[in-house]
A and B are shown apart, each in its own frame.
Chain A
Amino acid sequence: MARLPDDVPARPPLPVKMVIAGGFGVGKTTTVASISEIAPLTTEASITSVAAGVDDLTHTPQKTTTTVALDFGCVTLDPTLKLYLFGTPGQERFGFMWDDLVEGALGGLVIVDTRRLDDCYAAVDYFEHRDIPFAVAVNAFDGQVEHDLGDVRWALDVRDNVPLTVFDARERGSVRDALLVVLEHALARAGG
Protein backbone atom coordinates (compact mmCIF):
# COMPACT_ATOMS: atom_id res chain seq x y z
CA MET A 1 0.00 0.00 0.00
CA ALA A 2 1.43 3.33 -1.03
CA ARG A 3 1.88 5.64 1.92
CA LEU A 4 2.44 9.31 1.59
CA PRO A 5 5.31 10.55 3.70
CA ASP A 6 4.15 11.76 7.08
CA ASP A 7 3.06 15.38 7.15
CA VAL A 8 2.29 15.41 3.44
CA PRO A 9 -1.46 15.68 3.47
CA ALA A 10 -3.53 14.64 0.47
CA ARG A 11 -3.34 17.38 -2.13
CA PRO A 12 -6.68 19.12 -2.33
CA PRO A 13 -8.35 20.04 -5.60
CA LEU A 14 -8.59 23.63 -6.80
CA PRO A 15 -11.93 24.80 -5.42
CA VAL A 16 -14.13 27.06 -7.53
CA LYS A 17 -17.62 28.19 -6.68
CA MET A 18 -20.80 29.55 -8.17
CA VAL A 19 -23.72 31.13 -6.40
CA ILE A 20 -27.36 30.21 -7.06
CA ALA A 21 -29.62 33.04 -5.97
CA GLY A 22 -33.24 33.97 -6.24
CA GLY A 23 -36.39 34.63 -4.31
CA PHE A 24 -38.37 32.36 -2.05
CA GLY A 25 -39.33 29.01 -3.52
CA VAL A 26 -37.96 29.58 -7.04
CA GLY A 27 -36.07 26.29 -7.13
CA LYS A 28 -32.63 27.05 -5.68
CA THR A 29 -32.42 23.87 -3.61
CA THR A 30 -33.79 21.81 -6.50
CA THR A 31 -31.15 23.27 -8.82
CA VAL A 32 -28.28 22.43 -6.50
CA ALA A 33 -29.68 18.95 -5.88
CA SER A 34 -30.04 18.20 -9.59
CA ILE A 35 -26.36 18.57 -10.35
CA SER A 36 -24.59 17.93 -7.06
CA GLU A 37 -22.83 14.61 -6.64
CA ILE A 38 -23.67 14.66 -2.95
CA ALA A 39 -27.12 15.09 -1.50
CA PRO A 40 -27.40 18.83 -1.00
CA LEU A 41 -26.37 19.87 2.44
CA THR A 42 -27.59 22.80 4.39
CA THR A 43 -25.19 24.94 6.29
CA GLU A 44 -26.02 27.60 8.75
CA ALA A 45 -24.25 30.79 7.88
CA SER A 46 -24.45 34.38 8.96
CA ILE A 47 -25.01 37.19 6.60
CA THR A 48 -24.77 40.82 7.32
CA SER A 49 -27.78 42.49 5.82
CA VAL A 50 -28.22 46.13 5.27
CA ALA A 51 -31.80 47.22 5.53
CA ALA A 52 -33.04 48.85 2.38
CA GLY A 53 -34.08 51.98 4.21
CA VAL A 54 -31.73 54.14 6.20
CA ASP A 55 -32.16 55.38 9.69
CA ASP A 56 -33.70 58.83 9.30
CA LEU A 57 -31.76 60.42 12.10
CA THR A 58 -28.25 59.18 11.48
CA HIS A 59 -28.44 58.24 7.81
CA THR A 60 -26.53 55.09 8.60
CA PRO A 61 -27.77 51.88 7.10
CA GLN A 62 -29.20 49.46 9.61
CA LYS A 63 -26.96 46.45 9.76
CA THR A 64 -28.21 43.17 11.10
CA THR A 65 -26.61 39.79 11.14
CA THR A 66 -29.00 37.04 10.21
CA THR A 67 -28.45 33.33 10.27
CA VAL A 68 -29.56 31.75 7.04
CA ALA A 69 -29.60 28.27 5.63
CA LEU A 70 -27.22 27.89 2.75
CA ASP A 71 -27.71 25.09 0.23
CA PHE A 72 -24.53 23.50 -0.68
CA GLY A 73 -23.50 20.97 -3.30
CA CYS A 74 -20.47 20.07 -5.35
CA VAL A 75 -19.33 18.54 -8.62
CA THR A 76 -15.89 16.99 -8.94
CA LEU A 77 -14.93 18.08 -12.44
CA ASP A 78 -11.66 16.21 -12.36
CA PRO A 79 -9.39 15.08 -9.52
CA THR A 80 -7.79 18.51 -9.42
CA LEU A 81 -10.84 20.71 -9.85
CA LYS A 82 -13.98 20.85 -7.76
CA LEU A 83 -16.97 23.08 -8.35
CA TYR A 84 -18.96 24.14 -5.31
CA LEU A 85 -22.49 25.46 -5.61
CA PHE A 86 -24.08 27.64 -3.01
CA GLY A 87 -27.78 28.33 -3.02
CA THR A 88 -28.59 31.50 -1.17
CA PRO A 89 -31.95 32.76 -0.06
CA GLY A 90 -32.85 36.20 -1.26
CA GLN A 91 -34.68 38.41 1.15
CA GLU A 92 -36.40 41.18 -0.62
CA ARG A 93 -36.54 43.45 2.38
CA PHE A 94 -32.76 43.57 2.56
CA GLY A 95 -30.22 44.64 0.07
CA PHE A 96 -28.29 41.55 0.85
CA MET A 97 -24.59 41.32 1.36
CA TRP A 98 -23.26 37.97 0.40
CA ASP A 99 -19.78 39.41 0.14
CA ASP A 100 -18.26 36.69 2.19
CA LEU A 101 -19.79 33.98 0.04
CA VAL A 102 -19.47 35.67 -3.29
CA GLU A 103 -15.84 36.74 -2.99
CA GLY A 104 -13.97 34.81 -5.66
CA ALA A 105 -17.10 33.19 -7.16
CA LEU A 106 -16.90 32.45 -10.88
CA GLY A 107 -20.39 33.77 -11.34
CA GLY A 108 -23.99 33.73 -10.25
CA LEU A 109 -27.19 32.24 -11.54
CA VAL A 110 -30.30 34.19 -10.62
CA ILE A 111 -33.34 31.97 -10.78
CA VAL A 112 -36.67 33.57 -11.49
CA ASP A 113 -40.21 32.37 -11.45
CA THR A 114 -42.07 34.44 -14.01
CA ARG A 115 -45.15 34.47 -11.81
CA ARG A 116 -43.20 36.42 -9.20
CA LEU A 117 -40.59 38.36 -11.09
CA ASP A 118 -39.97 40.99 -8.47
CA ASP A 119 -38.63 38.37 -6.04
CA CYS A 120 -35.36 38.31 -7.89
CA TYR A 121 -34.60 42.03 -7.99
CA ALA A 122 -32.43 41.89 -4.88
CA ALA A 123 -30.19 39.22 -6.38
CA VAL A 124 -29.94 40.97 -9.76
CA ASP A 125 -29.07 44.26 -8.08
CA TYR A 126 -26.52 42.57 -5.93
CA PHE A 127 -24.62 40.86 -8.75
CA GLU A 128 -24.74 44.03 -10.84
CA HIS A 129 -23.48 46.11 -7.99
CA ARG A 130 -20.67 43.71 -7.16
CA ASP A 131 -19.81 43.36 -10.86
CA ILE A 132 -20.06 39.59 -10.72
CA PRO A 133 -20.84 37.84 -13.99
CA PHE A 134 -24.33 36.40 -13.81
CA ALA A 135 -27.12 35.07 -15.92
CA VAL A 136 -30.85 35.06 -15.30
CA ALA A 137 -32.47 31.65 -15.57
CA VAL A 138 -36.22 31.34 -15.76
CA ASN A 139 -37.32 28.16 -14.03
CA ALA A 140 -39.95 26.69 -16.30
CA PHE A 141 -42.28 25.25 -13.70
CA ASP A 142 -44.09 22.43 -15.46
CA GLY A 143 -42.64 23.59 -18.76
CA GLN A 144 -44.60 26.80 -18.53
CA VAL A 145 -43.07 30.21 -18.88
CA GLU A 146 -45.81 32.73 -18.54
CA HIS A 147 -44.05 35.59 -20.25
CA ASP A 148 -41.82 35.64 -23.25
CA LEU A 149 -38.16 36.26 -22.57
CA GLY A 150 -38.20 39.71 -24.12
CA ASP A 151 -40.86 40.74 -21.61
CA VAL A 152 -38.85 39.21 -18.77
CA ARG A 153 -35.76 41.13 -19.82
CA TRP A 154 -37.75 44.31 -20.06
CA ALA A 155 -39.35 43.76 -16.65
CA LEU A 156 -36.06 42.97 -14.96
CA ASP A 157 -34.28 45.80 -16.71
CA VAL A 158 -31.02 43.87 -16.89
CA ARG A 159 -28.31 45.04 -19.24
CA ASP A 160 -28.41 43.63 -22.74
CA ASN A 161 -25.25 41.64 -22.23
CA VAL A 162 -26.68 39.71 -19.27
CA PRO A 163 -27.66 36.29 -20.62
CA LEU A 164 -31.23 35.21 -20.09
CA THR A 165 -32.17 31.57 -20.38
CA VAL A 166 -34.98 29.14 -19.58
CA PHE A 167 -34.21 25.96 -17.70
CA ASP A 168 -35.72 23.15 -15.70
CA ALA A 169 -34.34 23.02 -12.17
CA ARG A 170 -35.16 19.31 -11.91
CA GLU A 171 -33.09 18.29 -14.93
CA ARG A 172 -29.37 17.84 -14.46
CA GLY A 173 -28.54 18.57 -18.09
CA SER A 174 -30.63 21.70 -17.98
CA VAL A 175 -28.94 22.94 -14.80
CA ARG A 176 -25.55 22.14 -16.33
CA ASP A 177 -26.40 24.17 -19.42
CA ALA A 178 -27.62 27.11 -17.34
CA LEU A 179 -24.33 27.09 -15.39
CA LEU A 180 -22.46 26.94 -18.70
CA VAL A 181 -24.28 30.09 -19.83
CA VAL A 182 -22.91 31.88 -16.76
CA LEU A 183 -19.41 30.52 -17.29
CA GLU A 184 -19.27 31.42 -20.99
CA HIS A 185 -20.36 34.92 -20.04
CA ALA A 186 -17.67 35.07 -17.36
CA LEU A 187 -15.08 33.80 -19.83
CA ALA A 188 -16.03 36.43 -22.40
CA ARG A 189 -15.60 39.09 -19.73
CA ALA A 190 -12.28 37.66 -18.62
CA GLY A 191 -11.07 38.17 -22.16
CA GLY A 192 -11.07 34.48 -23.04
Chain B
Amino acid sequence: MTAGEAPSGSAADDAYPEPCPGSYPQPHPEPHTEPVRPASAVRPFLLTAGRVAGGESLVPPIPVETQVVATSGGIAALDTFAFEHRDIVAVCQEPLSLAEIAAKLRMHLNVIRVLADDLRVDGRLTLHLPQGNPARDASVLRRVIDGLRAVPDSRGARRDY
Protein backbone atom coordinates (compact mmCIF):
# COMPACT_ATOMS: atom_id res chain seq x y z
CA MET B 1 0.00 0.00 0.00
CA THR B 2 1.43 3.32 -0.94
CA ALA B 3 -1.43 5.68 -0.35
CA GLY B 4 -4.90 6.03 1.02
CA GLU B 5 -4.70 2.90 3.06
CA ALA B 6 -8.20 2.04 4.15
CA PRO B 7 -8.70 1.90 7.88
CA SER B 8 -8.47 -1.66 9.09
CA GLY B 9 -11.74 -3.35 9.84
CA SER B 10 -13.48 -1.43 7.07
CA ALA B 11 -17.01 -2.29 6.10
CA ALA B 12 -15.71 -4.28 3.16
CA ASP B 13 -13.71 -6.51 5.49
CA ASP B 14 -16.62 -7.21 7.73
CA ALA B 15 -19.28 -7.56 5.13
CA TYR B 16 -18.66 -11.15 4.24
CA PRO B 17 -17.58 -13.69 6.78
CA GLU B 18 -15.16 -16.37 5.70
CA PRO B 19 -17.10 -19.29 4.32
CA CYS B 20 -17.53 -21.84 7.05
CA PRO B 21 -15.84 -25.05 5.92
CA GLY B 22 -18.51 -27.30 7.36
CA SER B 23 -21.43 -25.63 5.69
CA TYR B 24 -20.63 -26.29 2.06
CA PRO B 25 -20.12 -29.48 0.18
CA GLN B 26 -16.44 -29.63 -0.78
CA PRO B 27 -16.29 -31.09 -4.25
CA HIS B 28 -12.57 -30.32 -4.56
CA PRO B 29 -10.14 -31.87 -2.14
CA GLU B 30 -7.68 -28.98 -2.24
CA PRO B 31 -8.56 -25.99 -0.07
CA HIS B 32 -9.49 -23.02 -2.15
CA THR B 33 -6.83 -20.69 -0.90
CA GLU B 34 -4.39 -20.46 -3.79
CA PRO B 35 -5.12 -17.08 -5.38
CA VAL B 36 -3.43 -17.84 -8.65
CA ARG B 37 -3.56 -21.13 -10.41
CA PRO B 38 -2.11 -22.12 -13.73
CA ALA B 39 -3.94 -20.80 -16.73
CA SER B 40 -6.95 -22.84 -17.64
CA ALA B 41 -6.21 -25.71 -19.96
CA VAL B 42 -9.52 -25.10 -21.66
CA ARG B 43 -9.33 -22.87 -24.69
CA PRO B 44 -10.74 -19.58 -23.49
CA PHE B 45 -13.63 -19.20 -25.85
CA LEU B 46 -14.98 -22.65 -25.14
CA LEU B 47 -15.88 -21.31 -21.72
CA THR B 48 -18.00 -18.60 -23.22
CA ALA B 49 -19.65 -20.83 -25.80
CA GLY B 50 -17.82 -18.93 -28.50
CA ARG B 51 -19.10 -15.54 -27.46
CA VAL B 52 -16.54 -12.80 -27.58
CA ALA B 53 -16.67 -9.42 -25.95
CA GLY B 54 -14.97 -6.54 -27.69
CA GLY B 55 -13.10 -7.41 -30.84
CA GLU B 56 -15.55 -7.44 -33.69
CA SER B 57 -18.59 -7.36 -31.43
CA LEU B 58 -21.06 -4.57 -32.04
CA VAL B 59 -21.82 -4.22 -28.36
CA PRO B 60 -19.40 -1.79 -26.70
CA PRO B 61 -17.18 -3.84 -24.43
CA ILE B 62 -17.55 -3.42 -20.70
CA PRO B 63 -14.80 -0.98 -19.62
CA VAL B 64 -11.74 -2.66 -18.10
CA GLU B 65 -11.97 -0.57 -14.93
CA THR B 66 -15.61 -1.56 -14.26
CA GLN B 67 -15.91 -2.50 -10.60
CA VAL B 68 -17.30 -5.93 -9.93
CA VAL B 69 -18.70 -7.03 -6.57
CA ALA B 70 -20.24 -10.34 -5.58
CA THR B 71 -23.80 -10.22 -4.29
CA SER B 72 -24.57 -12.03 -1.08
CA GLY B 73 -26.63 -14.45 -3.18
CA GLY B 74 -23.58 -15.09 -5.33
CA ILE B 75 -21.41 -15.79 -2.31
CA ALA B 76 -24.02 -18.06 -0.75
CA ALA B 77 -24.20 -20.08 -3.95
CA LEU B 78 -20.43 -20.18 -4.45
CA ASP B 79 -20.00 -23.92 -4.43
CA THR B 80 -22.77 -24.56 -6.88
CA PHE B 81 -20.82 -22.92 -9.70
CA ALA B 82 -18.46 -24.38 -12.21
CA PHE B 83 -14.80 -23.51 -11.75
CA GLU B 84 -14.48 -20.23 -13.59
CA HIS B 85 -17.74 -18.81 -12.33
CA ARG B 86 -16.87 -19.77 -8.80
CA ASP B 87 -13.42 -18.24 -9.03
CA ILE B 88 -14.82 -14.96 -10.31
CA VAL B 89 -17.46 -14.68 -7.58
CA ALA B 90 -14.91 -15.73 -4.97
CA VAL B 91 -12.36 -13.03 -5.87
CA CYS B 92 -15.08 -10.38 -6.03
CA GLN B 93 -15.99 -10.51 -2.37
CA GLU B 94 -14.27 -7.15 -2.39
CA PRO B 95 -14.68 -4.83 -5.35
CA LEU B 96 -12.29 -5.59 -8.17
CA SER B 97 -11.92 -4.21 -11.66
CA LEU B 98 -12.47 -6.50 -14.62
CA ALA B 99 -8.77 -6.17 -15.44
CA GLU B 100 -7.78 -7.28 -11.95
CA ILE B 101 -10.05 -10.30 -12.14
CA ALA B 102 -8.54 -11.33 -15.44
CA ALA B 103 -5.03 -10.89 -14.11
CA LYS B 104 -5.66 -12.71 -10.84
CA LEU B 105 -7.38 -15.63 -12.48
CA ARG B 106 -5.04 -15.62 -15.46
CA MET B 107 -7.89 -15.54 -17.87
CA HIS B 108 -8.35 -13.52 -21.00
CA LEU B 109 -9.95 -10.15 -20.37
CA ASN B 110 -12.65 -10.76 -22.93
CA VAL B 111 -13.55 -14.10 -21.38
CA ILE B 112 -13.95 -12.38 -18.02
CA ARG B 113 -16.16 -9.79 -19.67
CA VAL B 114 -18.53 -12.43 -20.95
CA LEU B 115 -18.58 -14.56 -17.80
CA ALA B 116 -18.97 -11.57 -15.48
CA ASP B 117 -21.89 -10.33 -17.51
CA ASP B 118 -23.53 -13.77 -17.32
CA LEU B 119 -23.07 -13.75 -13.55
CA ARG B 120 -24.57 -10.26 -13.39
CA VAL B 121 -27.64 -11.44 -15.31
CA ASP B 122 -27.97 -14.30 -12.83
CA GLY B 123 -27.78 -11.89 -9.89
CA ARG B 124 -24.43 -13.23 -8.67
CA LEU B 125 -22.40 -10.11 -9.32
CA THR B 126 -23.03 -6.39 -9.41
CA LEU B 127 -21.18 -4.46 -12.10
CA HIS B 128 -20.56 -0.78 -11.50
CA LEU B 129 -19.88 0.76 -14.87
CA PRO B 130 -17.98 4.04 -14.87
CA GLN B 131 -20.34 6.96 -15.27
CA GLY B 132 -19.68 9.96 -17.43
CA ASN B 133 -16.26 10.90 -18.72
CA PRO B 134 -13.89 11.53 -15.84
CA ALA B 135 -11.28 12.84 -18.30
CA ARG B 136 -13.44 15.92 -18.84
CA ASP B 137 -14.44 16.30 -15.22
CA ALA B 138 -12.21 18.89 -13.55
CA SER B 139 -13.32 17.92 -10.05
CA VAL B 140 -12.34 14.28 -10.60
CA LEU B 141 -9.02 15.35 -12.12
CA ARG B 142 -8.32 17.56 -9.11
CA ARG B 143 -9.05 14.70 -6.73
CA VAL B 144 -6.70 12.42 -8.63
CA ILE B 145 -3.98 15.09 -8.67
CA ASP B 146 -4.32 15.67 -4.92
CA GLY B 147 -4.33 11.95 -4.23
CA LEU B 148 -1.28 11.32 -6.36
CA ARG B 149 0.68 14.22 -4.85
CA ALA B 150 0.28 12.53 -1.48
CA VAL B 151 1.95 9.36 -2.77
CA PRO B 152 5.40 9.34 -1.22
CA ASP B 153 8.46 8.63 -3.31
CA SER B 154 10.69 5.73 -2.34
CA ARG B 155 12.37 7.91 0.29
CA GLY B 156 9.03 8.89 1.80
CA ALA B 157 8.82 12.43 0.42
CA ARG B 158 5.49 13.67 -0.84
CA ARG B 159 4.96 16.05 -3.67
CA ASP B 160 3.42 18.87 -1.66
CA TYR B 161 3.32 22.34 -3.06
Known contacts: A15-B97, A104-B135. The answer to whether A4 contacts B15 by CB under 8 A is: yes
Which of A12, A76, A105 lies at the interface centre, i.e. has the most chain B CB atoms within 10 A of its CB? A12
CB neighbours (8 Å) of B61 from chain A are 100
Q: How far is the CA of A13 from the CA of B95 in the complex (A)?
A: 8
Q: How far is the CA of A152 from the CA of B154 in the complex (A)?
A: 28
CB neighbours (8 Å) of A1 from chain B are 14, 17
Encoded as 1 (CB less than 8 Å from any B CB) or 0, chain A from 1 to 41 comes to: 11110110111111111000000000000000001010001
* Docked-complex contact A45 and B2, CB < 8 angstroms: no
* Docked-complex contact A172 and B63, CB < 8 angstroms: no
Let me know if A74 is at the binding interface, CB within 8 A.
yes
Let me know if B115 is at the binding interface, CB within 8 A.
no
Known contacts: A4-B11, A15-B130, A46-B54. The answer to whether A187 contacts B145 by CB under 8 A is: yes
Q: How far is the CA of A17 from the CA of B97 in the complex (A)?
A: 11
Known contacts: A13-B67, A75-B148. The answer to whether A176 contacts B135 by CB under 8 A is: no
Encoded as 1 (CB less than 8 Å from any A CB) or 0, chain B from 94 to 131 comes to: 11010110111001111000000000000000101010
Let me know if B143 is at the binding interface, CB within 8 A.
yes
Please tell me which one of the listed residues B103, B128, B145 contacts residue A43 in the complex, with CB atoms under 8 A apart.
B103
* Docked-complex contact A187 and B138, CB < 8 angstroms: yes
Let me know if B23 is at the binding interface, CB within 8 A.
no
CB neighbours (8 Å) of A177 from chain B are 159
Let me know if A132 is at the binding interface, CB within 8 A.
yes
**Interface stretch among A78-86, A143-151, A156-164?**
A78-86
Q: How far is the CA of A46 from the CA of B157 in the complex (A)?
A: 38
**Interface stretch among A53-61, A64-72, A116-124?**
A64-72
Which of B4, B6, B54, B130 lies at the interface centre, i.e. has the most chain A CB atoms within 10 A of its CB? B4
Interface residues of B in 120-161 (CB under 8 A from A): 126, 128, 130, 133-138, 140-145, 147-155, 157, 159
Q: How far is the CA of A77 from the CA of B159 in the complex (A)?
A: 14
Q: State the majority secondary structure of interface residues on A.
A: mixed
Let me know if A165 is at the binding interface, CB within 8 A.
no
Kindly provide the distance from the CB of B55 to the nearest chain A CB, expressed in whole angstroms: 5
Known contacts: A10-B15, A12-B69, A77-B144. The answer to whether A190 contacts B153 by CB under 8 A is: no
Q: How far is the CA of A179 from the CA of B159 in the complex (A)?
A: 12
* Docked-complex contact B144 and A42, CB < 8 angstroms: no
Known contacts: A46-B109, A76-B6, A179-B148. The answer to whether A172 contacts B141 by CB under 8 A is: no
Encoded as 1 (CB less than 8 Å from any A CB) or 0, chain B from 41 to 77 comes to: 0000000000010111000010111110111110000
Let me know if A103 is at the binding interface, CB within 8 A.
yes
Known contacts: A15-B67, A43-B109, A107-B135. The answer to whether A10 contacts B95 by CB under 8 A is: yes
Q: A4-B15, A15-B65 are in contact. List 7 more A-B contacts (CB 8 A).
A: A1-B17, A41-B103, A43-B108, A70-B109, A78-B3, A84-B97, A104-B130
Residue contacts A-B, CB under 8 angstroms, 13 given = A15-B67, A37-B2, A43-B103, A43-B109, A44-B108, A48-B56, A70-B99, A107-B135, A173-B153, A176-B149, A176-B153, A180-B148, A190-B141
User: Top 4 nearest A-B pairs by Cβ distance?
Assistant: A173-B153, A77-B147, A41-B103, A12-B67
